[in-house]
Chain A
């Protein structure tokens, strides 16, 4: 009877110890993965948000969320795709919540970005702190077209990888990437022509 009593008392304690140990192991593993993919996660957040402070908030918030959800992460899959997907979802939620960034239609963004367009909102331009016309044009793309461009062209993801981050079919990545590049081509045409006529 005393033994039974002791067992009843011991089981939860043993479980607690194992649980604590497992959580510590999780944290160590998570820390390693997060460290390995931190720069890439930050860059994705930066190119989505368009500025460093928002990128920092985004990536920190995503890291916290990722740790909370870490038990659901399948270790046989890509941690970076999983983490970037969390960042992406946070960003889209934020955009929808704030509705600060206007959503364009593709027809609207086909309008070439002239010098007057670039300077008509100097506040926003300064806020984004983006260097070069390519980044300005990139930031003018709506998020659903910008995201595949960032992932494939800036971060070097495969179409498959981008599809996993964006949680959409590969065909969608392919067509959105293509339409994003076509829009950028229109906006960057003067720069591209200069690039081609000069020696690069």
Chain B
């Protein structure tokens, strides 16, 4: 009988976590085995000591701070979802404002002559018969600043 000590299931027995049949077998063994009874007693003491361990409490400010942060996070998310496009456009605008002054451009004094020159170049390379000079001058030209070109006109 004492040859097969049910040592692995003694904690389960202590916690009433065994099947009724298993529990009955362990109980029968315990009735006859002093060493298993001693182990069971030890396990019970260990469990009692652990159950008496003081329970630490979280700092009282921790939860309110946590909840505020979670709510703020959600608000930020909702804001971003709703205003995502606006924010993106504003960011793009901000970047444009920041970097526009850095982009090279011809001085105002040369703008007029530049239009004529560009027109001459364009009509030479891409002849467009129906582009008249007045209509050409009344619409803004696509201007792609190229550093070398600008230097030339300064």
Contact = CB atoms under 8 A, between A and B. Distances in A.
Contact of B49 (A38, A39, A159, A188): A188
Interface string B37-64: 0000111011111111111111100110
Contacts of A27: 70-71, 74
Interface residues of B, number: 38
Interface residues of A, number: 47
Nearest to B52: A134
A110 interface: no
Given A39-B58, A56-B59, A56-B62, A31 B49 contact: no
A182 B78 CA distance: 52
Contacts, number: 111
Contact of B50 (A42, A134, A196): A134
Interface string A28-71: 00110011001100110010000010011001100110010000
Where chain B touches its partner, the secondary structure class is: helix
Interface in B55-96: 55-59, 62-63, 66-67, 69-71, 73-74, 77-78, 81-82
B148 interface: no
Contacts of B66: 34, 60, 63
A192 interface: yes
A135 B53 contact: yes
B17 interface: yes
Contacts of A182: 43
Contacts of A184: 46, 50
Interface stretch (A82-90, A97-105, A115-123, A146-154): A146-154
A199 to B, nearest CB: 14
Interface of A: 16, 19-20, 23-24, 27, 30-31, 34-35, 38-39, 42-43, 46, 52, 55-56, 59-60, 63-64, 67, 131-132, 134-135, 138, 149, 152-154, 158-159, 174-175, 177-178, 181-182, 184-185, 188, 191-192, 195-196
